[in-house]
Structure 1
Amino acid sequence: MPLVARIAAAIFGGYACSAVFCVALARLLPLSKADSTLTAMMSSFVLYAVAVIYAFGATSVWRVWGLLAGLPLLCYALLQLLG
């Protein structure tokens, strides 16, 4: 069961992290819309890979879920503050 939880965290948590981070980064970069979107999209692939590696490298499944669920919530709160 812990392996299934890590796989689910890697797939769904990694996607949530990279998607919300991509939106936040595209809004925060001081570039043109096209350039900031492209830069954010390219960096989201790196973040997704790091999230998958972290999901299988961390010692606790709870820590994995905490980080991969908390980071998107934090980015979403930042987006809500920006408007």
Structure 2
Amino acid sequence: MPRSVTQPKSAWPAIATRTVLALLGGYAFTYAFTAALARLLPLDPVDAVTAASLLSFVVYLVFILWAFASASLRRVLVGAGIAIPWAIVGFWPQLMEVLG
């Protein structure tokens, strides 16, 4: 009598989702973090932008590694969502100009 064998679930959808979140979410997070850090550093504007830009490479790498090391996709989504407050801090003057 044959036993019913269940097919293993494919890992490719999870890998593709983590890849997209790592690349796009990491980019959004890094962009917002760099803008906020450049605004918050107590340096001349040119030096603050340079320091924040140099640090952005490390931040992007860490986000990508964390996206694949995280236990669940929900944590990665929350991590990418943290980009929203960083973006508000980083782009506050431009936001105020647009809003009036």
TM-superposed deviation, 1:41: 0.2
Large movers: runs of 4+ above 4 Å:
none
The corresponding residue for 1:41 is 53
- Equivalent-residue separation in structure 2 for 1:35 and 1:15 (angstroms): 22
Give secondary structure in 2 for the equivalent of 1:43: helix
- For residues 76 and 51 of structure 1, what CA distance do their matches in structure 2 show? 16
- Residues matched between the structures, number: 81
SS of 2:66's equivalent in the other structure is helix
Cα distance in 2 for residues equivalent to 1:54 and 1:47 = 10
For the pair shown, the structure with the greater C-alpha radius of gyration is 2
Query: Please, what TM-score do these two structures have when normalized by structure 1?
Result: 0.89
Aligned to 1:32: 44
Q: Please, what TM-score do these two structures have when normalized by structure 2?
A: 0.75
- The answer for unaligned runs of 5 or more in structure 1 is none
User: CA offset at residue 2 of structure 1?
Assistant: 0.7
- Take 2:33 and 2:20, find their aligned partners in 1: how far apart are those partners? 19
Greater fraction helix: 1
Distance in 2, Cα, partners of 1:11 & 1:73: 17
Kindly provide the CA deviation profile for residues 1-25 of structure 1, in whole angstroms up to 9, marking residues without a partner as x: 1111100011000000110111111
Q: Does 1:11 align with 2:30?
A: no
